[in-house]
């Protein structure tokens, strides 16, 4: 396009549109690019979060598959084995609750590099991991310790039909369930965090 002034030889070429519409389109493309490509800082934080959940899940699997069975198989009494398992489980549950809170706080860091459904599922899985670990340590384990104190003797010397022994065995089952929930939730979180770290 051109604009004539006076004669055929006098003209001014039309300039490209650089108005507000063009600037808006450019800004939209930049925002879309920023949304789809995490920054270096976000990638580093994602990698740290992935490391945290992987370390805890690996420790939980090793405890369940190796430490607990080996303690009861090798140690000379169930009392010693139970003390070792209880101590190790305390460390694992406290670590799971602490790591879970840190991981939950980091969910907001990746909100721009993940779809909302995946982000919500990640937050829910981390909340389940944190809650199960917290309950396992500060609710179930606390009650089990109280029952052990009331027994006043090694648990293998308490009759299977004793009310304290029955209650203790029921809490033991709840402890296993809580740890299983925490491990399953951590596995889901590990998968989701790993997808966003790529």
For residue 172, pLDDT over 90 is answered with yes
Residue 8 DSSP SS3: strand
Residues in CB range of 77: below 8 A, 6 or more apart: 154, 156
Beta bridge partners of 7: 5
Cα–Cα distance, 88 to 45 (Å, whole number): 28
For range 27-35, the mean pLDDT: 48
For range 106-127, the mean pLDDT: 81
Q: Which of 65, 192, 73, 176 has its CA nearest to residue 122?
A: 192
Instruction: Give the pLDDT confidence score for residue 4 in this predicted structure.
Output: 46
Q: Structure pTM? A: 0.77
Residue pair 136/89 in contact (Cβ under 8 Å)? The answer is yes
Dig out the tokens for 70 from the structure: 């080996």
Eight-state DSSP code of residue 160: T
In tens, the pLDDT along 180-189 reads 999 999 999 9
């Amino acid at each position: 396009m051109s604009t004539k002034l006076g004669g055929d030889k006098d003209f001014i070429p039309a300039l490209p549109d650089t108005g507000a519409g063009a600037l808006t389109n450019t800004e939209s493309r930049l925002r879309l690019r920023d949304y789809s490509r995490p920054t270096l800082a976000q990638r580093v934080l994602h990698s740290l979060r992935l490391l945290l959940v992987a370390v805890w899940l690996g420790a939980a699997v090793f405890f369940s598959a190796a430490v607990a069975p080996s303690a009861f198989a090798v140690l000379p009494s169930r009392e010693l084995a139970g003390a070792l398992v209880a101590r190790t489980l305390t460390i694992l549950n406290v670590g799971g609750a602490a790591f879970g809170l840190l991981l939950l706080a980091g969910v907001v860091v990746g909100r721009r590099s993940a779809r909302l459904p995946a982000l919500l599922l990640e937050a829910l899985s981390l909340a389940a991991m944190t809650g199960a670990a917290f309950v396992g340590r500060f609710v179930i384990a606390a009650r089990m310790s109280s029952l052990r104190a009331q027994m006043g003797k090694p648990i293998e010397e308490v009759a299977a039909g004793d009310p304290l022994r029955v209650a203790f065995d029921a809490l033991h089952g709840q402890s296993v369930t809580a740890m299983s929930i925490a491990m399953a939730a951590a596995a889901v979180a590990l998968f989701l965090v790993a997808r966003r770290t790529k």
